[in-house]
Amino acid sequence: MYASRTETTVEKKDLDWGNLGFGYMKTDYSYVCNYKNGAWEEGGLTTDHTVQLSECAGILHYCQECFEGLKAYTTANGDIVCFRPDLNAARMADSARRLVMPPFPEDKFVEAVKMVVEANAAWVPPFGSGAALYVRPLMFATGEVIGVKPADEYQFRILVTPVGPYFKGGDTAITITVADYDRAAPHGTGNIKAGLNYAMSLYPYEQAHKNGYAENLYLDSQTRTYVEETGGANVLLVAKDGTLVVPQSHTDSILPSITRRSLVVVARDILGMNVVERPVKFEEITNGDFVECGLCGTAAVISPVGHIKAEGVDVTFVDGAESSGPVMAKLRGTLTQIQSGDIEGPEGWVCKIC
């Protein structure tokens, strides 16, 4: 079932690295590991990129599934690295526990990421291309379940694929709207990376696109007065005095983005900025209290938001209306330089693969 890979000098694939989209491209290897009889097996690499399931598999009926997202990069000196995979391992374990799934061991998670990235080293875009190797760990119920209960068998996989920018406009500021729908219930599953959360956002996402918007901003579903996040990213705001304001959820409904947490450290400890993490009322945005806005996550790092428009809402972030404002540009530039090895980051942030 599992393939082996012999170490050789890696020759990169013949791709147009500078013009990659954000989509799936089959690579050489994936990683797979199964949970049966109360334990995770050894696991390893596979060249089979398909999944075979029973029609009664738990994932198909009760949506026991969670996933992660991280990237592998080529640094300035030619190393292939990942960014803080230990935090992805911990977050996936939290997601699994919330969905009554057996957490994949965190040390084994990191080793699996290293194994599959190194095996696909030829697919890791070269330094300076603006592209990366997207790494997608996922876990789902494979055991047969007909009554409403957790399954007893699961599969953990990691697929990798080379990708370009998430938003095609690059640093061009996007316009988003305010969703009429809710992303997550108070004290529900909004704080874990479960596929079901994203399924909830697909319809409003398509509606936003039809109306010319890049994304939806979700407000808290309890009062619809507080800023939460978009369908695929956390929100960052900059106040008029330069303070970085990071929205918090008093109902624990925001995904703890690894990129967001890293940017907070960059802002506070490296750039010396004033950072405030607190619940943010949407009326603060409509009142013009913020001069910059950005959406942050693994895929986009930071995508600048220039405008928010909806019925009765027309907000322009004056310092970032067309492209990243000075604060967002500095934050993004510093973090990407840490990720690529151009500047030294905090201990343990950059994990060398090979």
DSSP 267: I
pLDDT of residue 5: 46
pLDDT of residue 95: 98
- If the chain, 354 residues long, is cut into consecutive pieces of 10 residues, what is the mean pLDDT of each piece? 53 92 95 98 98 98 97 91 97 98 98 98 93 96 98 98 79 95 93 94 96 97 95 96 96 95 98 98 98 91 96 97 96 92 91 94
Report DSSP letters for 189-235, one per residue: STTS-BHHHHHHHHHHHHHHHHTT-SEEEEEPTTTS-BEEEESS-EE
240 is catalytic: no
Displacement of CA 190 from its chain's centroid (Å): 14
* 8 Å CB contact between 348 and 317: no
pLDDT of residue 168: 66
Cα torsion 279, 280, 282, 284: sign: positive
Give the number of residues written for the chain.
354
pLDDT of residue 340: 82
Residues 6+ apart with CB under 8 A from 337: 343
pLDDT of residue 303: 93
Where in the chain does DSSP place strands (E)? Answer: 30-36, 39-40, 44-46, 65-67, 70-74, 80-83, 132-141, 154-163, 174-178, 215-219, 227-230, 234-239, 244-247, 275-278, 290-297, 301-310, 313-316, 350-352
pLDDT of residue 64: 98
Active-site choice (193, 210, 330, 352):
193
pLDDT of residue 128: 86
Place of tokens 């709207």: 177
